[in-house]
Amino acid sequence: MGHWLIDTMNIEINTSTLSIKNCISMKSNTFPIILMSFSCLMLCLSCGTSNKSKNDHFNGKETLAELDGLLMQLDQFDASDCGNLNEIVTINEKMRRMVENIRSTKAFDSIAKAFDANTNQIDFVVSEDEQFGVFSWQTKMDCLGNSIKNIALYKSDNKVLASSLYGKSMMYHKIKSRKQTEGKTVYLLLGSASTNKEPNNVTAKGYKITNGYLAESQIPTSDEAYVNNTSL
């Protein structure tokens, strides 16, 4: 009888010890997961705050000056026979990231206000309603089949989104906006495949912003004659 009680007590003690060990083990495994989740959350919040802070202190004039500086660096490289390609690609990537980091409407408006076609080296054109803009520049990457880079910036849901444009790239010089009967706006982009504003060399592309996405659109019939008779 005494032995049975002792054995029972040993079993209970061992069971309790095992439960405690399992509990400690579970807590040990759970804590790193909680810590990692918390760290990820803080990192995301930090990134969001950082991006917001950058856009809150955005200076359009300084950004345009930086882009002009990179473009002047680009012009110094000889691109014949695909020479200096690594340096040329690196500079183009820096310019692309700078443009695509314009994410707030405040930053967009700052760029639009600061841009001066007579003094800035890079090309930027904004629509009449100031909702849509396009950066264009010569990449000097002709050997890669990409002589001109276009990046569109457009406002949607109180923020700015960036997008490449479809089809052949060109230097855009004007954006006209046309309201349609259903309330949508068609943006008519006028440009030239040449960097020179040659007479009677205008190409037009139509775009719409639908549910936050940029999509090609037919050119309104009323504007077709305008395009055909316009020179840059």
Mind listing the pLDDT tens digit for each residue in 57-112? 889 999 999 999 999 999 999 998 888 999 999 999 999 999 999 999 999 999 99
Q: What is the largest CA-CA distance in the chain?
A: 113
Q: Are residues 67 and 32 in the same domain?
A: no
Rounded to the nearest integer, the mean pLDDT of the chain is 79
Residue 44, domain member (yes or no): no
Examine the domain organization and report whether 89 and 18 are in the same domain: no
Query: Has residue 51 been placed in a domain?
Result: no
- Give residue 106's pLDDT: 96
Share of the chain above pLDDT 90, in %: 50
CA dist 164 and 149 (Å) reads: 9
Q: Which residues have a Cβ under 8 Å from the Cβ of 109 and sit 6 or more positions away?
A: 60, 130
Q: 3-state DSSP helix/strand/coil percent for the chain, to nearest 5?
A: 50, 25, 25
Minimal CA–CA distance to 166: which of 201, 123, 216?
A: 216
Structure confidence at residue 95 (pLDDT): 98
Q: Is residue 49 in a domain?
A: no
Of residues 123 and 49, more confidence is placed in 123
Distance, in Å, from the CA atom of 122 to the CA atom of 115, rounded to the nearest integer, reads 9
Q: Note the pLDDT of residue 119.
A: 96
Residue 223: per-residue pLDDT: 55
Residue 114 confidence class, pLDDT cut points 50, 70, 90: very high
Looking at the fold, whether 179 and 122 belong to one and the same domain comes out as yes
What is the spatial distance between Cα 61 and Cα 67, in angstroms, rounded to a whole number? Answer: 10
What mean pLDDT do residues 122-143 have? 95
Kindly state whether residues 138 and 208 are assigned to the same domain: yes
pLDDT for position 15: 46
Q: Judge if 146 and 180 occupy the same domain.
A: yes
* pLDDT (0 to 100) of residue 8: 44
pLDDT score for 41: 59
Quick one: pLDDT at residue 96?
97
C-alpha 41/C-alpha 47 separation (Å) is 10
Kindly list the distances between the CA atom of residue 172 and the CA atoms of 1, 16, 29, 79, 221, in Å, as whole numbers in the listed order.
99, 77, 58, 23, 21
Whether residue 23 is found in the same domain as residue 81: no
Q: Domain span at residue 23?
A: 1-36
Least confident of 84-93, 167-176, 177-186, 210-219: 177-186
What proportion of the chain, given as a percentage, has pLDDT over 70?
67
Per-residue pLDDT at 53 exceeds 70: no
Question: Could you give the number of structural domains in the chain?
Answer: 2
